[in-house]
Amino acid sequence: MASTEQQSVESIEEKLDNSKISEEENLEQYLTFLMAEEEYGVDILSVQEIRGWESVTPVPNSPKHVKGVINLRGTIVPIIDLRAKFNLDAIDYGPLTVVIVLKVALGTVERVMGIVVDAVSDVYGLSLEDMQTAPDLGDHINTNYIQGLAGVDEKMIVVLDIDALLANDMRSQAANVSVH
């Protein structure tokens, strides 16, 4: 990793480790990341780690947004490219490209999955009361994976429900796993 990227990831990981928000403040913490110059957030409690981009083992016949899998300390982790999943233009992965490793739940089943994003941004405490619901964009656009929209420092953060976003990928991965 480049030294500026290493410092950025280390500062975010330090915030992950040291972040304590009082329950009285009624704030929840979100790790934010960038994609196509937009900022997105995921619940910090679902984040297991942040890793620099490394090559993956491709999985035959997988959807375009499934880059492949990595072996993370003995656990096979599917890696999802959120740019491809959101139908954004593909870019070459650079020194700021990271994989956010998340714990994702589908009902009672939990799975570790990784999402490839352009760069990590920050950790914010967001009030649930201040978060606005996702706009209704009609029947043709699914927004079920958007937990809400939050304004922070003159910018809008799209807060994702990572479980809803990756649920279909968990189902398809489970269908592809066979017991030997």
- Tens digits of residue pLDDT in 78-131: 999 999 999 999 999 999 999 999 999 888 889 999 999 999 999 999 887 778
User: Residue 15 has what pLDDT?
Assistant: 56
When pLDDT is cut at 50, 70 and 90, the band that residue 18 belongs to is low
State the residue for tokens 């593909």.
90
What are the structural domain ranges in the chain? Answer: 3-173
The pLDDT score that the predictor gives to residue 147 is 87
In the predicted model, is pLDDT for residue 176 greater than 70?
no
- Residues pairing with 156 in the sheet: 151
Residues 153-172: tens digit of each pLDDT: 888 999 999 998 888 776 55
| Predicted pLDDT at 12 | 60
DSSP states along the chain? --HHHHHHHHHHHHHHHH----GGGTEEEEEEEEETTEEEEEEGGGEEEEEE----B--TT--TTEEEEEEETTEEEEEEEHHHHTTPPP----TT-EEEEEEEEETTEEEEEEEEESEEEEEEEEETTTPBPPP---TTS--TTEEEEEEETTEEEEEE-HHHHHHHHHHHHHHH----
Give domain 3-173's CATH superfamily.
Answer: CheA-289, Domain 4 (2.40.50.180)
Q: How confident is the model at residue 141 (pLDDT cuts 50, 70, 90)?
A: low
Q: Which residue has the higher pLDDT, 149 or 14?
A: 149
Instruction: Please tell me the pTM assigned to this model.
Output: 0.79
Rg from Cα positions in the chain: 16
9 DSSP β-pair partners: none
